[in-house]
Amino acid sequence: MARAKICGLNSADAIDAAVAAGADWIGFVFFPPSPRAITPAAAAALAARHDGGPPRVGLFVAPTDAEIEAALAALALDILQLHRVDPARAAALRTRFVRPVWRAVEIATATDLPTAAPGIDALLLDAKPPADATRPGGNARRFDWSLLAGWNAPAPWLLAGGLTPANVAAAIRATGAEAVDVSSGVESAPGVKDAARIAAFVTAAHAAGR
């Protein structure tokens, strides 16, 4: 089945809903401009509600080493999801923190698709944000999935950008994605997760990948 990550969890209700739905990963956003941002201490308190639950992914945007260190001092992140970090920096952070690294890539045209991923555990393909966006992801924006036809993925990858419970099955069928990532698509308002939408998204993703 296709696996599903629920990102941007910032409340007890949200993380409880994601775990109950059977999410394969849970994500915390450590980027203050995002309406889903959370502090490491708050993320640790939420993660403690489900000890031994789904792997925890920390999302960072062009982070310093100190920012990642602060997050890891507060909670045990299983994966570092890095936005606006070049391949060499991503590989260096993987070595520095001894954690799997997912490198986000912003896609607008076929030329944006990566052809190599040295030192990277997975790629996250997201839509290139609008010019006036304050954050690289979580903009409810999708890219043209047909761009992936014939692409030779250099590493495992996740599909993100504009996914919802209504379109995730079609997205998986169209792209062959084995994993998907959602944030705004399961919200009732920016930064406010909806339990029913989370459950519907995870169910649809799991069913579509069978």
Q: Give yes or no for a contact between 188 and 14, defined as CB atoms under 8 angstroms apart.
A: no
Q: What is the dihedral of CA 6, 146, 61, 137, to 10 degrees?
A: -60
Catalytic residue (one of 24, 126, 181, 194): 126
Q: Catalytic residue among 7, 24, 181, 194, which? A: 7
For the stretch 105-125, pLDDT in tens is 999 999 999 999 999 999 999
Domain ranges of the chain: 3-208
Single pTM value for the model: 0.94
Contact 163, 187 (CB under 8 A): no
Residues 143-159: tens digit of each pLDDT: 999 999 999 999 999 99
Q: Mark whether 7 is an active-site residue.
A: yes
Class of domain 3-208: alpha beta
